[in-house]
Amino acid sequence: MVQIRRLYTPLVCLCLLIVAGSLSRSAGFDPLTEAQNKRVGFSTRGSARQNPELSPAEAWLAESVLDPEFGGDKGAVRVLYLSNSHSYAVMDLRPGDLTAAQWLQVFTARQVGHGQPPSVVRLPQVPNLSMPECLIKLVAFGEQSSRPGDVLIGGMVMAEWRGIGVRKAVQSLVEIPAVQERLRQLIRANPDLPHATRALSFVDEIAAAVPTDLPLATRIENQLRSWIETKVPLLRMLPLLYGRMTFSFVTLRNRTFAISSDRARPVPEVTYRSSLELLELALRYTRSKGLVSVIYLAPIRPITPNPNLPSDLARFRRDVLATCQRYGVTSVDYTDAIPENLWTNYPDDGSWGYTTPQRDFAHFTGGAHKLMAEQMMKYAGPLLLGRTSGKGDARKP
């Protein structure tokens, strides 16, 4: 009897874990889908073909923008389009809707008619791209596949300047020796940008932590871990369970503090300074590599209440444009470029992570993407076509 009583806790505990494992498997929760505004869509392979304005060749070119690599197009200017989800997500997506980057690819190809496109545009799709992440992505492009004269289009989104974190997926690029070395060089060579270099301090930690030859115990542990994780279903579900917990926290937080999407979100001074210096560091890097930069300020939805504080916005516009001007970089201010009717096709009703319908302040419609691309061609077209060296100034569409 004593033995049975002793075994009560471990046995019931084990049963509960088994039940939790099978429940988590059957729940089929995907935190990414769950946390996403359901009205936001993404241009995928095949969708460009549904656009009646595009020829089959143009549709193919538009779809190639989503490829992860540049491929082997010799002689074409490579255009890296870096920004957060506003650059690749389309609000109330309709068949054939394209992103601004895809339109740019089409427009540049039309400039020279049929045949070899003068530029190849690629759009890495990274949501909530912070400035340190932006710099790492840029250096990875610069060190791996760029040539002098290639172009960086950088979309600056003020909301992303509220943080300077780097996710593991982007951090893994730092493990590429050339990228790591160049980043370390940038940190060492730019002590006048202390906030930027501090934000990148993890690069040195990664450099110190990556051993050339893993010890036997680590190799055994890694193999053991991957073996156990294939055998125990619960362990495979762990990242999703973590996502579930995070999502629950956000929902609970929003309910508790009555947080809505239009609530004012000030940009903290510390992250703002770091992000601005990181932009400067990025421009120094592009200059050193002979890359042409085109920086634009992402559109802000012209309605009130608005999460972006007017004072923050004024400072952001002033500082980014002044920094670009200092480095002779073409900059386009899209802050007020998209009218309200191009932000959504239907009444606002998204409720991701919230309890009541919410407005989306980050993503706009396919029509707005096209408008942005047209403006970009107007002000930076020659740069994208490789017809000028890119001594730029600030433009306001």
Partner 1 sequence: MTIQSYSYLIALPLVWLIVWAIRTPRPRIVGLLLASYMFYASWGLAFLLVLLVSTTVNYSWGQVLRKRPMAPLLWAGIGFNLAILAVFKYLPSIGSGILGGSSFGRLVGTIVMPVGLSFWTFQALSYLMDIYRGEEEKPSLLEFCLYMAFWPTVLSGPVMRVGELVPQFRSDARPGWEDVTCGLHRLLVGLFMKVVLAQVLAVGLYKGEGVSDGFDKIAGGWGGLDVLLLAVSFGFQLYFDFAGYSNMAIGAARLFGIRLVENFDRSFFSRTPSEFWSRWHMSLSFCIRDYVFMPLASRRRSLWWRNLSLVTSMTIFGLWHAASWPLVAWGLYQGVLLVAHRQVQQLRRRWQFSVPPTIDTLVSWSVTFVLIAVGWVLFRSHDMSQALGMLRALLLPGRYLQLGLRPDFYIIATLVIGLYFVYSGLEWLVTRFRSNGVIYHSIRLLSPAYYAALILLVLIWSKQQSVFVYFQF
20 touches partner 1 (CB under 8 A): yes
Question: Are 222 and 245 within 8 A, CB to CB?
Answer: no
Structure tokens at 71: 């491929």
In this chain, which of 96, 268, 290, 328 binds partner 1, going by CB under 8 A?
Answer: 268
Binding mask 111-130 for partner 1 (x = CB under 8 A): -------------------x
In this chain, which of 71, 95, 194, 233 binds partner 1, going by CB under 8 A?
Answer: 194
Within 10 Å of residue 331's Cβ, how many Cβ atoms?
26
In this chain, which of 212, 215, 231, 304 binds partner 1, going by CB under 8 A?
Answer: 215
Q: How far is the CB of 130 from partner 1 (least distance, A)?
A: 7
Q: Which long-range contacts (CB under 8 A, 24 or more apart) does 6-13 make?
A: none
HSE, side-chain direction, 13 A CA sphere, residue 273: 9
Q: How far is the CB of 238 from partner 1 (least distance, A)?
A: 5
Q: Which is nearer to partner 1, 247 or 361 (CB)?
A: 247
304 touches partner 1 (CB under 8 A): no
Structure tokens at 199: 């934000």
Structure tokens at 24: 């988590």
In this chain, which of 27, 32, 112, 238 binds partner 1, going by CB under 8 A?
Answer: 238
Q: Which is nearer to partner 1, 241 or 309 (CB)?
A: 241
In this chain, which of 27, 32, 189, 220 binds partner 1, going by CB under 8 A?
Answer: 220
Beta-bridge partners for 155? 296
Which ranges of the chain would DSSP assign to H, the alpha helix? 2-27, 31-35, 56-64, 100-111, 131-144, 168-171, 177-189, 194-199, 202-209, 216-231, 233-236, 238-256, 269-289, 310-326, 366-384
Consecutive H or E run containing 293? strand 292-297
Q: What does the alpha-carbon distance between residue 121 and residue 297 come to, in Å, rounded to a whole number? A: 19
221 touches partner 1 (CB under 8 A): yes
Residues that contact partner 1, how many (by CB under 8 A):
51
311 touches partner 1 (CB under 8 A): no
Q: How far is the CB of 255 from partner 1 (least distance, A)?
A: 13
Structure tokens at 130: 């912070």
Q: Which is nearer to partner 1, 16 or 303 (CB)?
A: 16
Q: Which is nearer to partner 1, 7 or 57 (CB)?
A: 7
Q: Which is nearer to partner 1, 206 or 388 (CB)?
A: 206
Task: Kindly state the DSSP code that residue 48 receives in the 8-state scheme.
Answer: G
Distance of CA 213 to the CA centre of its chain: 33
Residues of span 137-176 touching partner 1 by CB under 8 A: 162-167
Pairing state of beta strands 89-91 and 40-42?
antiparallel
Q: Which is nearer to partner 1, 60 or 249 (CB)?
A: 249
In this chain, which of 29, 42, 202, 327 binds partner 1, going by CB under 8 A?
Answer: 202
Question: Are 335 and 297 within 8 A, CB to CB?
Answer: yes
249 touches partner 1 (CB under 8 A): yes
Question: Are 69 and 79 within 8 A, CB to CB?
Answer: no
Residues binding partner 1 (CB under 8 A): 6, 8-13, 15-17, 20, 130, 132, 162-167, 194-195, 197-199, 201-202, 215-217, 220-221, 224-225, 228, 234-235, 238-239, 241-242, 245-246, 249, 253, 266, 268-271, 273-274
